[in-house]
């Protein structure tokens, strides 16, 4: 059994999680410790005890450790990518790309550890100076989802450590292997005991224990809207700082003047790659009437040609859905879309050479924005195609959602591109690019029901992972 890492020790657990590949249920990736609330207690005590020394380390020491983690991820990207593809189901190319992204994130934050800065001002009072500096928030609990099993743990852990916090990471139950490798790499890189703790297990046990723990100061969570909402309430009870990244129903607008091939490829990749299992996925394709039919013909043809199969086969473009319950939920939404009057192309469950959870990507044609299938996040390879009359209607439909993570527009007209950037109620806007697939060195996050609290990634990560102190000094 792969163990939890608590206070520098690899701790066994009474119970184990079976990690099986969604591409082939006979492929047992491994048995992973299923932690308890006592494990969280121990991890929290260790993280609290380790905090003063870690916060006081020189930035060079933190940078060196993070840099070593980045180098190890880079050196082992093939092997880790393969493990990730087995446990999550995304294609080998995507899994390796994700591992490289995790490596780059660690290297970026190695640099950021050296660039923690503040402000020095003159006070409004004579002979007094004011100094604003950043300090760690404290012990942080990180709760991560299954769809990016190494990149999301990396983009929460790296800034947390860079800014001097100590960490308890709880990865998703479906994908503990990638986070476990990350923990091994951190331990090998010389992270002091108690500074980084890994507690794998169930959300209802380990996640709940982290959120309610009195010695955890801040929680960063990526996952579903219902869990995020409950977590925010619970965290508020304990007055914890909280950062939530949740769902999306991201619009991609295609205008009449768009380059058809750019638009189709952006929509195809945004909607269906990573099996549509991204909070940034394009799930509403909002298409102007003049290009609508040509767009539908071409995207249907391209979707049909996608190679769906075992992620370990290098020709596979789209892997399986992550689990049986997720596939069942996707299939229910396909029925909902049909019942609501959309014309469904694809979407059926597929058999394969191995027993897994395969689904053909689905387009819901002639959809309306008020349909359930256009409003609720499906988190699978399903996209609604909504026809609109002009740019203004496209913007209104794009913004008519309770979410606001990412949005996109395909157009060759600079005026429309600029107007869309300004009026889109999303945290991230893409022009002639897919809504999914973001850079690692700039802020990530959304508005409305998609996100809560400060942005992740880039220099903005400091807003969540540090607390500012204002110090006044009288020269005397």
CB of 194 or CB of 319, closer to ligand UN1 = 319
Task: Tell me if 280 contacts ligand UN1 by CB under 6 A.
Answer: yes
245 in active site: yes
Which residues between 39 and 68 bind ligand UN1 (CB under 6 A)?
A: none
Asked if 380 interacts with ligand UN1 (CB under 6 A), we say no
Q: Which stretch binds ligand UN1 (CB under 6 A): 65-73, 274-282, 325-333, 358-366?
A: 274-282
Of 63 and 151, which has the nearer Cβ to ligand UN1? 151
For ligand UN1, give the closer residue by CB, 264 or 436.
Answer: 436
Q: Closest separation between CB of residue 280 and ligand UN1, Å?
A: 4
Pairing outcome for strands 382-388 and 166-170:
unpaired
x/- track of binding to ligand UN1 for residues 419-438 (CB under 6 A): -----------------xxx
Binders of ligand UN1 among residues 218 to 237 (CB under 6 A) are 222
| Angle value at C-alpha 311, between 100 and 375, nearest 5 degrees | 85
| Closer by beta carbon to ligand UN1, 145 or else 159 | 145
Nearest by Cα to 201 from 228, 165, 175: 175
250 binding ligand UN1? (CB under 6 A) = no
Catalytic-role residue among 87, 88, 112, 279: 279
C-beta of 151: minimal distance to ligand UN1 in Å? 7
Query: Interface with ligand UN1 by CB under 6 A: which range of 12-20, 53-61, 272-280, 309-317?
Result: 272-280
Considering only 104, 144, 147, 373, the residue that binds ligand UN1 (CB under 6 A) is: 147
Q: Is 307 a catalytic residue?
A: no
CA dist 407 and 428 (Å) reads 6
| Piece in contact with ligand UN1 (CB under 6 A), picked from 167-175, 207-215, 276-284, 308-316 | 276-284
Query: Out of 136, 138, 145, 164, which residue is the one contacting ligand UN1 (CB under 6 A)?
Result: 145
- Among the listed residues 25, 222, 219, the one whose alpha carbon sits nearest the alpha carbon of residue 141: 219
Site for ligand UN1 in 165-224 (CB under 6 A): 222
Q: Phi and psi at residue 121, in whole multiples of 5°? A: -130, 160
- Name which of 36 and 283 has its Cβ closer to ligand UN1: 283
Residue 268 interacts with ligand UN1 (CB under 6 A): yes or no: no
Based on CB atoms, which residue is closest to ligand UN1, 148 or 420?
148
Among 26, 76, 23, which Cα is nearest to 311's?
23
Number of residues that bind ligand UN1 (CB under 6 A): 12
Phi-psi region of 16 (alpha: psi -120 to 50; beta: other; left: phi over 0): beta
By CB under 6 A, residue 279 contacts ligand UN1: yes
The residue range among 82-90, 275-283, 337-345, 367-375 that interacts with ligand UN1, by the rule CB under 6 A, is 275-283
Contact between 445 and ligand UN1 (CB under 6 A)? no
**CA–centroid distance for 138 within its chain:** 23
Calculated CA dihedral for residues 263, 266, 272, 277, nearest 10 degrees:
-140
Give yes or no for residue 245 binding ligand UN1 (CB under 6 A): yes
Among the options 88, 94, 98, 245, which is catalytic? Answer: 245
Cβ proximity to ligand UN1, 157 vs 280, nearer residue: 280
Query: Buried (b) or exposed (e) across 442-456, using 16+ Cβ within 10 A?
Result: ebbbbebbbbbbbbb
- Smallest distance, Å, CB 277 to ligand UN1? 7
Instruction: Find the shortest distance in angstroms from Cβ 152 to ligand UN1.
Output: 6
Q: How far is CA 408 from CA 139, 179, 222, 259, in A?
A: 37, 31, 22, 14
Residue with tokens 């969540």: 464
Can residue 17 be called a binding residue for ligand UN1 (CB under 6 A)? no
Distance separating alpha carbons of residues 149 and 210, to the nearest angstrom? 19
Decide if residue 148 touches ligand UN1 (CB under 6 A). Answer: yes
Q: Which is nearer to ligand UN1, 22 or 138 (CB)?
A: 22
- In the complex, the residues that contact ligand UN1 under the rule CB under 6 A are 145, 147-148, 152, 222, 245, 278-280, 436-438
Q: Which residues are catalytic?
A: 245, 279
């Amino acid at each position: 059994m792969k163990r939890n890492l608590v206070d520098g020790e690899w701790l066994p657990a009474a119970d184990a999680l079976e990690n099986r590949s969604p591409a082939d249920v006979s492929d047992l990736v491994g048995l992973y410790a299923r932690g308890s609330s006592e494990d969280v207690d121990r991890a929290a005590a260790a993280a609290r005890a380790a905090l003063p020394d870690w916060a006081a380390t020189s930035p060079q020491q933190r940078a060196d450790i993070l840099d070593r983690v980045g180098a190890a991820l880079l050196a082992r990207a093939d092997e880790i990518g393969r493990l990730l593809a087995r446990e999550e189901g995304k294609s080998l190319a995507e899994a390796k790309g994700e591992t490289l992204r995790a490596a780059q994130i660690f290297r970026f934050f190695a640099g950021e550890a050296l660039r923690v800065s503040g402000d020095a001002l003159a006070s409004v009072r004579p002979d007094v100076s004011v100094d604003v500096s950043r300090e760690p928030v404290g012990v942080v609990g990180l709760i991560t989802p299954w769809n990016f099993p190494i990149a999301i743990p990396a983009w929460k852990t790296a800034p947390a450590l860079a800014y001097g916090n100590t960490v308890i990471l709880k990865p998703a139950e479906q994908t503990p292997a990638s986070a476990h490798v990350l923990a091994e790499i951190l331990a090998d890189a010389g992270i002091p005991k108690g500074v980084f703790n890994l507690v794998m297990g169930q959300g209802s046990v380990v996640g709940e224990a982290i959120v309610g723990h009195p010695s955890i100061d801040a929680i960063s969570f990526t996952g579903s809207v219902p869990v995020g909402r409950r977590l925010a309430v619970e965290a508020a009870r304990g007055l914890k700082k909280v950062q939530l990244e949740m769902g999306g129903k991201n619009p991609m607008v295609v205008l009449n003047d768009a380059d058809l091939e750019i638009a189709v490829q952006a929509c195809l990749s945004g909607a269906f790659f990573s099996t549509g299992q991204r909070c940034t996925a394009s799930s509403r394709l909002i298409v102007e009437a003049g290009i609508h039919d040509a767009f539908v013909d071409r995207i249907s043809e391209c979707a049909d040609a996608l190679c769906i199969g075992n992620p370990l086969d290098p020709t596979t473009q789209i892997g399986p859905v992550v689990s049986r319950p997720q596939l069942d939920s996707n299939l229910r939404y396909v029925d909902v879309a049909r019942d609501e009057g959309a014309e469904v192309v694809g979407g059926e469950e597929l058999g394969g050479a191995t027993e897994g959870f395969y689904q053909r990507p689905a387009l819901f044609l002639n959809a309306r924005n008020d349909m359930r299938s256009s409003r609720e996040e499906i988190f699978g390879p399903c996209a609604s195609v909504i026809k609109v009359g002009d740019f203004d209607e496209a913007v209104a439909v794009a913004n008519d959602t309770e979410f606001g993570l990412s949005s996109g527009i395909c157009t060759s007209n600079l005026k429309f591109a600029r107007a869309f950037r300004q009026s889109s109620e999303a945290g991230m806007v893409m022009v002639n690019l897919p809504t999914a697939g973001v850079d690692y060195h700039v802020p990530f996050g959304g508005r409305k029901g998609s996100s809560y609290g400060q942005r992740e990634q880039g220099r903005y990560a400091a807003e969540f992972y540090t607390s500012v102190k204002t110090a006044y000094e009288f020269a005397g």
